[in-house]
Structure 1
Amino acid sequence: MPTASILVPHYNNPELLRPCLESLRALRADNPTHEVVVVDDGSSDGSVEWVRREHPWARVVARAENGGFVRAIQTGVDESQSEILVFLNNDTWVEPDWLKNLVDPLLSGQVEGVTGSILMNWEGTRANFLGATLNYLGYGFEVPGELPDPRGPLIPVLCACGGAMAVSRKVYLETGGFDESFGMIYEDLDFGWRLNLIGRACCLVPGSRVGHRAHSSLGRSSFERKARYYLLNPLRMLLKNGDEEGHLERMQMAVTLAQARERICLLGQSRPPGFLDRLGQLFHKETSPLVASLVEEEERTRALAEKRATILKRRRCTTREVFERFAPEPTRPWFFDEEQRQLLETAGYFELERRMYRSCGIIGRG
C-alpha cells in the first residue's frame, strides 16, 4: 500500500497541470512509495490522454462530467489506496521535501487532524496563505505574509488550504470530509471550522511549501457559478456550525445582508453585452437564489439541519471560542476586489451591515 495518496483534481488546460506533475515526478524519483491520482473532472480538451501519454506513472481517474472540486476530491478518496490523503491543486508546484514534511506529523501522531502547506506565490518569494480567518457573516479571509522559517514549529490555524493539505482517511471520513453541497469555495474553511469544533487540530507545516497560481483554476468557472457559491456557502457554514445561542437572529441577519449584497453586485456589475440578461434567468426572480437554496429546497435544508445536529452533538467547544482564537476582526467587511468594494460602499451596503451588527448587539450602539 502506498504511504500517501496525492489527489490532484483537474479540469481542462493541460499546460496548467504540467508544472504540478513535473514537480511530482521529481518527487517520486526520490521516493516512489506514494501514489499520484489525477482526477479528471470531465475535461473536453484531451487532458486525460495527455496525462496518460506524458505522465504514465500517474494514475488517471476520469469522471464522466464536471462536478466541481469537492466531487472530484471525493472521487479521488474513493479510488485511492493509502490511509493518508493529500489534496493538491493542479495549478501548483511542490518543493522536494514538501510531502515528507506535510505527512510526518500525521504519521507520528503529533497531529490528529489536518496538516497544511504554506502556499507561496508562483516565484516562491512570499506566502499567500498562512492560514485563514472569517467574519460573523461567514466570509473568509486568507492571511498572507513573509515566508516562515521552514524549521519552525507547527502553526495552529482555523483551516488548511484545500489545495495543499493532508489528512488521514479515518479522520476525513469520520468528520464528513468536504461538504459536497459547497461545490467549490469555502469547503476547506467549513471543514477546518468543524474540525476545531470537535477538538481536532489544523496545523500548517512551515517546511511544507507549495508554489501556487492563485485562483487560476477557479478563474475558468463561470461567473454565474462563482457568484452563487460566494453568496451561498458562507450561509451554509453559519447554518451548520453556528452556536445555538442567538442562532436564528444571526442567520436572519446574514441572509438579509447576503440578499442586499446580491442585488447590489448583480445589478451593478460591468459585464459584456447580454451578460446580465443571462444572469437574470438565474438570479433576477421574485425569490432570490439565497432563499430558494436555503429555504425552498426542502431536501437540502433538511440535510443541512441533520449536519448541524451531528456537529452540535460532537462539538467540544463553541463557535464563539473558535472566533476568539482565530477571528481577530469578526466584523471585518468582505469584498471580492476593489471594484466590488466601491460598488458596495456607494450603495450604502457597509453602513447597512454596521447597523445590523448593532441591532444584534454584536458591536456597540454608540
Structure 2
Amino acid sequence: MPFVFIVIVNWNGKVDLLECLASLKSSDYPKDRYSIVVVDNGSSDGSQAAIAREHPDATLLKNTKNIGYVMAANQGIVYALDSGADYVWVLNNDVSVNKDTLSRLVAIGEKDGKVGVIAPVIYSFQEPPRIENAGYKINFWTGQLKKLKIGRDIFADPADRSADVDSILGCADLIRALVFKKIGYLREAYELYFEETDFNVRARKAGYRVVVVKDACVKHRNASTMNRLIFRRAYLLLRNLFIFEVLNAERRHLFVFIPYYFFIHIPWFLLRGCVYGIQVKLKCRFK
C-alpha cells in the first residue's frame, strides 16, 4: 500500500481542527500506511496544546507566527516528501472526512500513474448535506471558474467512478509525490486562494490528470478562518485571480481578460464589499 502523508495547516482553528483529526481516526486506510502532519501558524487559541494532548501521534510543526497558508502547506509537503511519502493529502482544517475517503482516492491513483491530483466530492455541513464542489471548468478568457454539475457536466454515466476536470477546490487534494518533483510546490506568491488552481493547471501541462472521485466524499465548512477576515479574503481572491491569469493564460486570452478584470471583476468585488459592510452595520444597529 502506498504511504500517505496528511498535511493540515492550522491557524486559530482548534475546534475545526480537532473535528478533522477525529474524523481521520476512523479512516479504514491501514494505520501503518499514513501519517498526519499539522503545520500550526502560531495559533493563540490553544491549538498546539490540544494537538499534543489529544493526538500525540500527529507530527506538529510549529511556526512562531502566521506565515500564510501556502508557505505553511509547502512546509508540510517538504516534510512529507523528505519522509518518503508516495502521496500527500493536503487537507483544510475545516474538513471532515468519511471512513473510506482516503482509500477510494488512493485506489483511483493506483489505477493510472498519470493521475496526479485526486479530489473527493465536497459536501457542505448543512443538513441535508448539499454538494459544494465537484471540480471546475476554467475560462481563461474571463478568469471565471465554472462549477461542474454532477449528472450534467460530469458523471453523466452512472458507471463512471472518476472524471477529469480542469481544477478542483483544493480543500482535500491527494497529490502524487512525483508531481511535486516534476513541477515544484505550491506557488507562494498566492499566499491563499488560486494556489491549487495554479498547481492543477501546471500538473495538467506536465501530462498529469486532475480527477474527481464520485464515491469519495468530505464535508467542508467553507473558509471558517477567512470568514472572520472577509475583506482580506476579497482582496486575495481579486489579486490572485490576476496573478493566476498572467502566469497561466495565453497572450490571446489576456487581451480579453484584462478589460474584463477591470470592468467586471473589480466593480463586482467592490459592490459585494459595500453590500457586506451595510449588512454588518445594520446587524449592529438592530441588535
TM-score above 0.5, yes or no: yes
Task: Name which one, 1 or 2, has greater alpha-carbon Rg.
Answer: 1
Cα distance change, pair 125–231 in 1 and its aligned pair in 2 (3 A) = closer
For the pair 1:242 / 2:249, whether they are aligned, the reply is yes
SS at match of 1:216: coil
- Cα deviation, residue 73, structure 1: 0.8
- Cα deviation, residue 238, structure 1: 1.2
- 1:19-168 equivalences under 5 Å are 19-27=19-27, 31-80=31-80, 81=83, 82-122=85-125, 123=127, 125-135=129-139, 136-143=141-148, 145=150, 152-168=160-176
Runs of 4+ in 1 over 3 A off after TM superposition: 107-112, 123-126, 141-152, 258-269
TM-score by length of 1: 0.66
Q: Say whether the 8 Å CA contact 1:87–1:163 is kept in structure 2.
A: yes
Q: Say whether the 8 Å CA contact 1:121–1:127 is kept in structure 2.
A: yes
Q: Which amino acid aligns with 2:110?
A: L
- 1:1-366 equivalences under 5 Å are 3-27=3-27, 31-80=31-80, 81=83, 82-122=85-125, 123=127, 125-135=129-139, 136-143=141-148, 145=150, 152-220=160-228, 222-244=229-251, 246-247=252-253, 249-257=255-263, 258-261=265-268, 264=271, 270-271=277-278
Larger RCO, structure (CA 8 Å, separation 6 or more): 2
Cα distance change, pair 63–142 in 1 and its aligned pair in 2 (3 A) = farther
SS at match of 1:237: helix
Q: Which amino acid aligns with 1:71?
A: M
Q: Which amino acid aligns with 2:99?
A: P
- Cα deviation, residue 118, structure 1: 1.1
Cα distance change, pair 106–236 in 1 and its aligned pair in 2 (3 A) = same
How far apart, in 2, do the equivalents of 1:64 and 1:57 lie? 22
Q: Say whether the 8 Å CA contact 2:137–2:147 is kept in structure 1.
A: yes
Unmatched tracts of structure 2, length 5 or more: 282-287
- Cα deviation, residue 16, structure 1: 1.3
- Cα deviation, residue 150, structure 1: 9.6
Aligned residues: 271
- Cα deviation, residue 184, structure 1: 1.1
How far apart, in 2, do the equivalents of 1:79 and 1:154 lie? 29
Cα distance change, pair 267–118 in 1 and its aligned pair in 2 (3 A) = closer
Which protein is richer in strand relative to its size? 2
CA RMSD of aligned residues (A): 2.8
- Cα deviation, residue 228, structure 1: 1.5
How far apart, in 1, do the equivalents of 2:240 and 2:57 lie? 36
Once the two structures are aligned, what percentage of the paired residues are identical? 26
Residues 326-347 of structure 1, C-alpha deviations (whole Å, 9 max, x = no match):
xxxxxxxxxxxxxxxxxxxxxx
